[in-house]
């Protein structure tokens, strides 16, 4: 989820260590994404709990804060 | 392509013919089987004629004056006028048939490289380049000037030709300046009714006479793949340049906001620009036109209407509203408002699968075109609604898991 959102947002520069108390349990290739979520206020959880199941409520908040925090949406021509 | 008074016919790339427009006289309904192939087609006032592969001519439409009574034998070219038709035979002699009120079918003898039937006169280019006309000459349309020509076209009361020095010369009625062409060089000319047009050697169409501007130069095609990324009160619009620039490079683009009419412009090759000051409470859509030295294209297809405002201001009344945690309410309302997910009840504590996530991210990006199949080994386990999204994530590099996406995880 974290990596999806981070790459979806263009994969901006991000730390791979940012103070999650369960840092070691986050897969190395997911760490930048997790830190990007934290740095941008998309998740404030600490511990991060990398293998916990994401709920639809959390997803709504994540998507809103990621793409929709500024009501950013794409409209295309059919 | 061949245009008559109110109908048009074209040769497809497979050499079959198709006509559209006025069909009261049957001029848009070829009498031949659909599979018949042609080498040339000509549309006149009430008739159409075509040279079939093999050289025979067939005509359809009005037959009040014998226009459909094609002489036997082969032709290389045919030209339909008002109520008569002329053709060039393989031995370069001429034959005309149909209405002969003013001698317009009395083709002269000799060898010709081309012929053109007008309203009630005709002109031909001899193999030595000189032009001869016959039929009605009330406005001087059958009195060509001296000189050698590469092509000639007969209109209503006027004829025009391209001289060997690539200048266009017209004779006959000069009503509204229709017989006063600009300086060349030209490659082709059409004499028309109240106006005339020429194709320059740079492949630009120039018209003169009445309504010349209405029948002016070809403009580029419209841009495609228009996308608008909207944030509160503004939008960034991007697009793909038109495939067809009509032979002249696109110089710029104009984005228009509907309704409202304002927008933004860009100078080519830039293919995006920003629009500010949008209402945050009403839906808008965007179109883009391309401009080159010859004019502007038709507008592109419009984007799907979108409100460029902050979403979730008015909470969506989900049936399980009380079971949605506070931190998720606004996001859930936005997802519902923007048709990212329309589930009701929202089921905030339900788990999100990778397949659902793929579908949501793809929809947030505007549901861009994406295949439903792209080589995931576990494709059959991906719900149908999520397949384009999964393929889009893969194509965009947002997910790189391969060969499986594990849609249920």
Whichever domain contains B34, its CATH number is 2.130.10.30
Confidence of residue B405 (pLDDT cuts 50, 70, 90): low
C-alpha distances (whole Å) from B398 to each of A1, A10, B286, B357, B363 are 11, 9, 28, 12, 14
Confidence of residue A75 (pLDDT cuts 50, 70, 90): low
Q: Are B19 and B73 in a shared domain?
A: yes
The domain boundary, picked from B182, B209, B236, lies at B209
b/e B71-110 (16+ beta carbons within 10 angstroms → b): eeeebbbbbbbbbbbbbbbeeeebbbbbbbebbbbebeee
Q: What is the mean pLDDT of residues B261-281?
A: 89
Q: Is pLDDT above 90 for B274?
A: yes
Provide the pLDDT for residue B387: 92
For B241-297, strand residue ranges (E) read 250-258, 263-267, 272-275, 285-292, 295-296
Is B326 a domain residue?
Answer: yes
pLDDT digits (tens, 9 = 90+) for B3-60: 777 777 888 888 888 877 777 777 877 877 777 889 999 988 888 999 999 999 999 9
CATH number assigned to the domain comprising residue B289? 2.60.40.10
Strands B168-172 and B250-258 turn out to be: unpaired
The domain total for chain B is 3
Q: Are B196 and B137 in a shared domain?
A: yes
Q: Are B41 and B170 in a shared domain?
A: yes
What does the alpha-carbon distance between residue B199 and residue B246 come to, in Å, rounded to a whole number?
13
* Of residues B331, B351, B352, nearest to A68 (C-beta): B331
Q: What is the mean pLDDT of residues B331-353?
A: 87
Q: Are B36 and B167 in a shared domain?
A: yes
Confidence of residue B407 (pLDDT cuts 50, 70, 90): low
User: Residues A26, B298: contact at Cβ < 8 Å?
Assistant: no
Tell whether A74 lies on the interface with B, counting CB pairs under 8 A: yes
Q: Are B13 and B135 in a shared domain?
A: yes
Is B310 a domain residue?
Answer: no
Check residues B267 and B365 and name the one with the higher pLDDT.
B267
Interface mutation vs chain B, best among A36, A69, A75, most B CBs within 10 Å:
A75
Residue in B with minimal Cα distance to A8: B398
What does the alpha-carbon distance between residue B152 and residue B191 come to, in Å, rounded to a whole number?
9
Q: What is the mean pLDDT of residues B110-137?
A: 95
Q: What is the mean pLDDT of residues B130-155?
A: 93
The domain boundary, picked from B145, B175, B209, lies at B209
Provide the pLDDT for residue A74: 62
Confidence of residue B63 (pLDDT cuts 50, 70, 90): confident
Q: Among the ranges A67-76, B344-353, B366-375, which has the highest mean pLDDT value?
A: B344-353
> How distant is the Cα of B304 from the closest Cα of chain A, in angstroms?
6
User: What percentage of chain B has pLDDT greater than the value 90?
Assistant: 37
Q: Closest Cα partner for A58 from B345, B349, B364?
A: B349
Is B266 a domain residue?
Answer: yes
pLDDT digits (tens, 9 = 90+) for A46-73: 888 888 888 888 888 888 877 654 445 5
Provide the pLDDT for residue B214: 41
* Of residues A7, A53, A73, nearest to B397 (C-beta): A7
Residue B359 makes CB contacts below 8 A (sequence gap 6+) with B385, B386, B389
User: Residues B186, B198: contact at Cβ < 8 Å?
Assistant: yes
Q: Are B109 and B143 in a shared domain?
A: yes
Q: Are B205 and B228 in a shared domain?
A: no
Q: Which DSSP string corresponds to B19-85?
A: EEE--TTSTTS-SS-TT--EEEEEE-SSEEEEEETTS-EEEEE--TTSTT-PPSS--SEEEE-SSEE
pLDDT digits (tens, 9 = 90+) for B301-331: 777 777 777 777 788 889 999 999 998 998 8
Provide the pLDDT for residue B297: 80
Is B11 a domain residue?
Answer: yes
* Of residues A8, A64, A72, nearest to B331 (C-beta): A64
Has the ipTM of the complex gone over 0.90? no
pLDDT digits (tens, 9 = 90+) for A10-54: 677 888 888 888 888 888 888 888 898 888 888 888 888 888 888
**Distance from the Cα of residue B265 to its chain's centroid:** 23
Q: Are B50 and B133 in a shared domain?
A: yes
Q: Is pLDDT above 70 for B127?
A: yes
> How distant is the Cα of A73 from the closest Cα of chain B, in angstroms?
6
Q: Which residues pair with B134 in a beta bridge?
A: B122
Q: Are B150 and B287 in a shared domain?
A: no
Residue B326 makes CB contacts below 8 A (sequence gap 6+) with none
Give A74's contacts in chain B (Cβ within 8 Å): 227-230, 364-366
* Of residues A59, A72, A78, nearest to B229 (C-beta): A72
Q: What is the mean pLDDT of residues B75-96?
A: 95
Host domain of residue B234: 224-296
pLDDT digits (tens, 9 = 90+) for B94-108: 999 999 989 999 999
Q: What is the mean pLDDT of residues B137-146?
A: 91
Confidence of residue B217 (pLDDT cuts 50, 70, 90): very low
Tell whether A9 lies on the interface with B, counting CB pairs under 8 A: no
Is B79 a domain residue?
Answer: yes
Provide the pLDDT for residue B325: 92
Q: Are B176 and B264 in a shared domain?
A: no
Is B309 a domain residue?
Answer: no
User: Residues B277, A50: contact at Cβ < 8 Å?
Assistant: no
User: Residues B95, B107: contact at Cβ < 8 Å?
Assistant: yes
> How distant is the Cα of A7 from the closest Cα of chain B, in angstroms?
5
Provide the pLDDT for residue B73: 93
Provide the pLDDT for residue B400: 67
Helix (H) or strand (E) holding B195: strand B195-200
Q: Are B330 and B372 in a shared domain?
A: yes
Q: Are B195 and B121 in a shared domain?
A: yes
Q: Closest Cα partner for B212 from B198, B200, B190, B196?
A: B196
CB contact under 8 A, B229 and A74: yes
Helix (H) or strand (E) holding B157: none
């Amino acid at each position: 989820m974290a990596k999806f959102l981070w790459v979806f947002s263009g994969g901006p520069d991000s730390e791979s260590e940012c103070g999650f108390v369960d840092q070691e349990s986050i897969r190395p290739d997911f760490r930048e994404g997790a830190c990007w979520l934290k740095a941008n206020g998309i998740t404030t959880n600490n511990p991060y709990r990398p293998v916990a199941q994401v709920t639809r409520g959390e997803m709504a908040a994540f998507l809103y804060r990621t793409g929709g925090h500024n009501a950013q949406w794409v409209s295309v021509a059919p | 392509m061949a245009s008559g008074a109110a109908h048009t016919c074209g040769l497809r790339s497979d050499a079959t013919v198709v006509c559209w427009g006025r069909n009261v006289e049957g001029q848009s309904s070829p009498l031949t089987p659909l599979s018949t192939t042609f080498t040339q087609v000509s549309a006149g006032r009430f008739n159409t004629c075509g040279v079939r592969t093999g050289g025979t001519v067939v005509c359809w439409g009005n037959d009040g004056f014998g226009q459909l009574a094609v002489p036997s034998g082969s032709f290389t070219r045919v030209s339909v006028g008002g109520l008569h038709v002329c053709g060039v035979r393989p031995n370069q002699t001429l034959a005309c048939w149909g209405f002969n009120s003013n001698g317009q079918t009395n083709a002269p003898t000799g060898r010709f490289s081309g012929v053109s039937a007008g309203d009630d006169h005709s002109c031909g280019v001899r193999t030595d380049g000189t032009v001869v006309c016959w039929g009605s000459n009330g406005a001087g349309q059958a009195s060509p000037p001296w000189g050698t020509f590469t092509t000639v076209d007969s209109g209503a009361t006027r004829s025009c030709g391209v001289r060997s020095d690539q200048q266009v010369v017209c004779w006959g009625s000069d009503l509204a300046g229709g017989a006063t062409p600009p300086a060349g060089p030209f490659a082709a000319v059409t004499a028309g009714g109240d106006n005339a047009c020429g194709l320059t050697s740079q492949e630009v169409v120039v018209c003169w006479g009445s309504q010349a501007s209405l029948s002016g130069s070809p403009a580029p095609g419209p841009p495609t793949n228009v996308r608008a990324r909207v944030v509160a009160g503004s939008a960034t619009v991007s697009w793909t340049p038109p495939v067809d620039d009509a032979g002249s490079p696109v110089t710029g683009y104009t984005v228009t906001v509907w309704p409202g009419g304002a927008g933004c412009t860009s100078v080519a090759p830039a293919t995006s620009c920003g629009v500010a000051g949008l209402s945050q409470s009403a839906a808008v859509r965007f179109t883009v036109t391309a401009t080159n030295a010859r004019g502007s294209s038709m507008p592109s297809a419009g984007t799907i209407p979108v409100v460029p405002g902050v979403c979730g201001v008015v909470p969506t009344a989900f049936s399980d509203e009380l079971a949605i945690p506070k931190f998720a309410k606004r996001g859930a309302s936005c997802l519902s408002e923007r048709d990212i997910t329309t589930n009701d009840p929202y089921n905030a504590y339900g788990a999100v699968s990778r397949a659902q996530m793929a579908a949501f991210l793809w929809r947030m990006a505007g549901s861009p075109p994406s295949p439903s199949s792209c080589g995931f080994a576990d494709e059959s386990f991906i719900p149908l609604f999520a397949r384009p999204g999964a393929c889009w994530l893969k194509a965009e590099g947002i997910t790189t898991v391969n060969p499986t996406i594990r849609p249920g995880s």
